[in-house]
Every structure is written in structure tokens, then in C-alpha cells.
Structure 1
């Protein structure tokens, strides 16, 4: 079993304890068993099924910041605190996904039906998403109220949640699935959407949480982390957009759907920037149409414009820029550039 698998198994072992704590709070309020069971089912269906990279990053970042070589070097109290914060990030992700799936009318998530598609759930999923978010603050209060950085944790979760919702808003009004209007698209809009919708909560949030627990709370250090992690998060999403169009199903584990779904992806925005009037006419007529013929016409334009080569050029440029930035990190107050290098290494040349 790899070290990564061992760490994930250990992290997963803490989730039933969290479910027990959260359902106990419902019992304390006098909720009937039917409601308690519903909440437990929602927590278990929506929270632990993904890759857990965000939650695990809280633990992994702390290990690096404290100079440990392995998660096993953490004492049990340290580990439990960090795992709990990691699960708070995963609860935030679950909250977003339950709502997102309803907005997108999605059918499946992580190989199972979306929560609102589960029999008898339907629109109750709206309230369930609120409860997943509220669970974060119940956990923070019961485990961190006496810590000097408690308010920092609360404010960080609130701020990142709002930022993510801003990104989602711009995405929804720019690229609704049922109304294709490529005049609304631009690389600047794409950049805002992915930075706010993905980068803050997926990259900056886990690192900042670990920094607070490790006592590295100087705004200069938080800014050093943010200044690399936000463009890195944007790079990660651009990579995702590229793989959706140019990756094989074997590579990415699914068939890419961004073209048919009218996604405001980097690929279409880069193509719009480079297209001739004739190519633009083809894209306007075929992008966001739910048939394979239209999709093929869009892909032909992308290949003719050599968007895959444009991506390779972008990837090398951003990787060099981030490496140069990481090399300039000031470690005098305890922050470590290795945190940022570790994240970059996970993303660079990723193929799935």
C-alpha cells in the first residue's frame, strides 16, 4: 500500500467520528430519529466519495511546515485537529456540489446519482446543502473555539465561500447551458471564473488552514502562499479544460463534454481570440449544440488553430513563472517554499 493510500485511509477513518458528532448535535436539539438518519445519509452520500485532495492537503501542508517527514510523526491530537479541518474543506466542497448539480441538472456525481436525484430527496437537497455548510461552523466551534486563530478560521471559510459563489455566479450568467452566446465569453472572464470558483477553495484554503494551525499567521506569509496558489489553481483549471477537449477518455476517466455543455472553458476562449471570421462563424453555429457532428466541427477549428500547441506554450510559461516566484519565497518567519513546490509538482504535466 502506497504512502498516499495509507494517508487517505487514515483520513477516511476520521469521517464516521465526525458524522457521529454532527448527528449527536441533532439529538441534543431533540430532532426525531427520522431527521437524524436523513442528515447522516446526506453527509455520507455527499462528503467522502471524491479524491479528498483538498482535505488531505491540510494535513500534508502542516507536515511540511512543521518539518516532519511523514504524517505518522504527528501526535494524535495534532492529527485529529488537522483531519477535522480537512473534512471541513470537504464539507464545503460537498455543499457546493449538491447545489451545483441541481443548477446544472446533472445526473451523476462520483459514480453515483446526484443527491437531488436520490429517491425522495428532490428539492430537499437545497436545505441539505445549507446543512452541509452549517456543519463546518458547528465543528469549528466545538474544536477550535479556545484557539487564538479561531476567528481567522471562521473568516477564512466565510471569505472563500463568498469568493467561490462569485465565480459560480459569473459562470452561470456567462455560459447557461440552454442559451449559447459566445459574445459573452472572454479570456478575462474565464480567468475570473476559475480563480474565484476553483482556485481559492481548492488551493489557497487548505494551505491557509494549515498555516494558522502551525502558527504562521503573518499577512506577508499568507500573501506569499496566495500569490503562487491562485495562479496555480488557474493553471490547474486551464489544464482541466485542455484535457476535456484533447485528452482521451482513458486518460481522464470520462468523455469530455465541455463543447456540448457550452462551458466557458479556456479552449473556446483561446479559439475565439485566434479565430478568423470564417472559423468564428463555425464556432457560433456549433458550440454548445448537443450533437456529435457540431462537436466535431468545433474540434476541427480547435485543431486548425493549434490550440493544443497554444496550451503547451502556456504550460511551460506559467510553470517557469511559478518556479521563479517560489524561488523568491522568504522563509524567515517559518513559511516553507516546499509547500508550493509540492503543489506545483502535482499539477505540472498532469494527464488526468
Structure 2
């Protein structure tokens, strides 16, 4: 049973999380103002300015903001902890915080760009509890250009705030590389599992691995940390490789977990009713089932997966629960093995590698904080 002290500690952590998010959110209106100011300087008409502002505010804030906040958290670990003890010795200065937050919002703009486009490709109905942008009255296919403008906003902000920094070119390289990698993942996903044509012969665990690594892990896990490392002055290429070696499998574990929760998570916890089976998603669950199914089970999966029918969905779930497949038990083993593997990779990282006079170097805490957020999550 938790003690009062433990309750107080949890309450304090929750309050700190709320405050961190609030401070981060307060930066976004300043960036919107800068972007709209650019349109004004180019003599864009008032209705174009209003449209872009609404696009920015509708699609960028409002999510969990985990990717953007991770940039700030990582910069704080790298710049504000003591190299010898690993303890926090100071707070970020206002200019440091602002730069970290702008990089965080650039990641959130990248996310917004992907989601606006992805919702059109998937013919999705809602996003974050509101209509997808292209379904808002009067938007329709203008959303294609709006997605491009969300991406372009990233490079405007990077140029405005980081052009004088020695690592400016490396920031551009990171965003360009990760954007291309994510689009490659989206391509594999779209041609492997189109919603209107079910062909399970195209599915495999290797295809699933490629989709989740390229579509999710690079921009959701590696990008926030790599941006923070650049800002902290870490230049050793081997440390970026070490970060990649930890964060890509962590991102894959996160997505496998997401796939599992779509089928087995509580709708109250995950905030939605899972639809991966109905939508013909190339998820971890179906690929594990296909790899272990008998011919009779395979026939049932072929006949029922990706059909917009609740009875078909239940037949697929019955196969998932069959003793020779048992997705729940396999996920439990996968989660345990992933956690052990990730901890071993983190432990092998030289603590404080790449430290300078101003940076504590690459610290294990960067990766432990990420793992703590995702391990055994229920939502």
C-alpha cells in the first residue's frame, strides 16, 4: 500500500508535468505570430493570413506533445546536470529554454504535417477528438497545400532562430533526413495494407519492422534526442550512432505496444476504440498470428481480416487468442525481452561521453527517461 509520502511524490510529479506542458504551450503563440508576421511582410491578403493561422492552431497543439517536450527534457539533462555526479545543478536560462522549445515545436509541426496528409490518405474521420482538417467545412483538398505549409514553417523558424548557430546545417540535415525516412515508412505501409484491398500475403514481420522503424521510430524517438544533442554541442558521430542504436528499437517496442493496445487495451485508457483489424492494418498482432497460424486458422484470417464487420473482427480475435498463437502471452514475453535488451544497451553507454565545458555529454538518463515513459504503459 502506498504511503502518504509516495502519494505526495506522485502528486508533485504530476503537477510538474502540468507546469512543463503549460510553459511549453506558451511558446507556440509567439511562433504563430512570427509566421503570420512573415506573411504580412510579403503582403499576403488578410484571408490568407487568417487561414494559415487557423491551420497552425488547429493542427499543431492539442496532442500529447510528447515529441516536442522530449526535446526540452533532453536539453535540460544534457546542459543542466553535473558531469561527475549526474545531478541537476541549474535550470535552463530563458534563451536556452526558448531555443529548446522552438526545436520541440518544429518536431510538433513535422508531426502536424504528417497527420494532415495521413488523414487524407486514410480517409480518416476524426483526429484528437475533432474532425480531421480536410473534413472541416470549406477545407477539403486545400488541406494538401496546408500540409506543405506546416512543413515549410519548420524551415522558416529554424532559419530565424538558428541560422547563426554552428550546428544550423546539421539541424536542417536532421529534419530533411527524418522526413524522408518517415515518408518511406508511409509508402511501405500504404502499398502493403491499403484499406480497400486485403491481401495478407503482402504482410510479414519484416514488413512490419520496416514500417514501424521508418514511419514512427525515427521522428518520434531519434529526432527529439538528436536535435537536443546538436543544441548541447555534442559532435561525436559515434554518440549519434549510439543514440540511434537505443532509440530505434525503443521506437519499435513503442509501436508494437501500440498495436497490442489497439486490440487488448481498455478504450477508457487508450482514448479510442481500436480499429486495426477492421482497417486492414499491418500490425504486430496480425503478423505474429500469420507466422504461427495453421492452414485452417490462416483461411479464417484471410476471410475475415480487414472487413468492416464486427463478427469478422471477433473471428480474428478468436484466432489471436488460440493456444498456438496467444498474442497476449507472446506480447508479454516480447515486452520483457525488449525491456532487458534496451536496459543493456543503455548500461553499455559510456556515461557523460562527449562532455564539454558547457555540456555534461550524453547521459544514460536521456534514454532511461524515455523508457520510463513507455514501459508497461496502458495508453
TM-score relative to the length of structure 1: 0.98
Contact 1:261 1:290 in 2 (8 A): yes
What are the equivalent positions in structure 2 for 1:61-80 lying under 5 Å apart? 61-68=74-81, 73-80=91-98
Whether 1:241 and 2:259 are equivalent positions in the alignment is yes
Could you tell me how far apart the structure 1 residues matched to 2:56 and 2:150 are?
A: 7
Residue in structure 2 matched with residue 337 of structure 1 by the alignment = 364
Residue in structure 1 matched with residue 282 of structure 2 by the alignment = 264
Could you tell me how far apart the structure 1 residues matched to 2:178 and 2:39 are?
A: 27
Could you tell me how far apart the structure 2 residues matched to 1:138 and 1:252 are?
A: 35
Gaps of 5+ in 1: none
What are the equivalent positions in structure 2 for 1:168-179 lying under 5 Å apart? 168-179=186-197
Could you tell me how far apart the structure 2 residues matched to 1:267 and 1:71 are?
A: 45
What are the equivalent positions in structure 2 for 1:303-322 lying under 5 Å apart? 303-304=321-322, 305-322=325-342
Aligned counterpart in structure 2 of residue 51 of structure 1, from 58, 61, 64:
64
Instruction: Give CA deviations for 1:222-261 in whole Å, capped at 9, x if unaligned.
Output: 1111100000000000000000011121221111100000
What are the equivalent positions in structure 2 for 1:91-170 lying under 5 Å apart? 91-170=109-188
Residue in structure 1 matched with residue 228 of structure 2 by the alignment = 210
Instruction: Give CA deviations for 1:150-205 in whole Å, capped at 9, x if unaligned.
Output: 00000000000000000000000000000000000000000000000000000000
Whether 1:348 and 2:372 are equivalent positions in the alignment is no
Could you tell me how far apart the structure 2 residues matched to 1:138 and 1:72 are?
A: 31
Could you tell me how far apart the structure 1 residues matched to 2:16 and 2:291 are?
A: 44
TM-score relative to the length of structure 2: 0.91
Could you tell me how far apart the structure 2 residues matched to 1:87 and 1:240 are?
A: 24
Residues 29/347 of structure 1: CA separation in 2 closer, same or farther (3 Å cut): same
Residue 72 of structure 1 and its aligned partner are, at CA, apart by 8.2
Whether 1:323 and 2:350 are equivalent positions in the alignment is no
Contact 1:286 1:298 in 2 (8 A): yes
Superposition CA RMSD, Å: 1.2
Could you tell me how far apart the structure 1 residues matched to 2:303 and 2:65 are?
A: 39
Whether 1:40 and 2:53 are equivalent positions in the alignment is yes
Count of aligned positions: 352
Could you tell me how far apart the structure 2 residues matched to 1:248 and 1:12 are?
A: 29
Could you tell me how far apart the structure 2 residues matched to 1:38 and 1:254 are?
A: 29
Contact 1:170 1:193 in 2 (8 A): yes
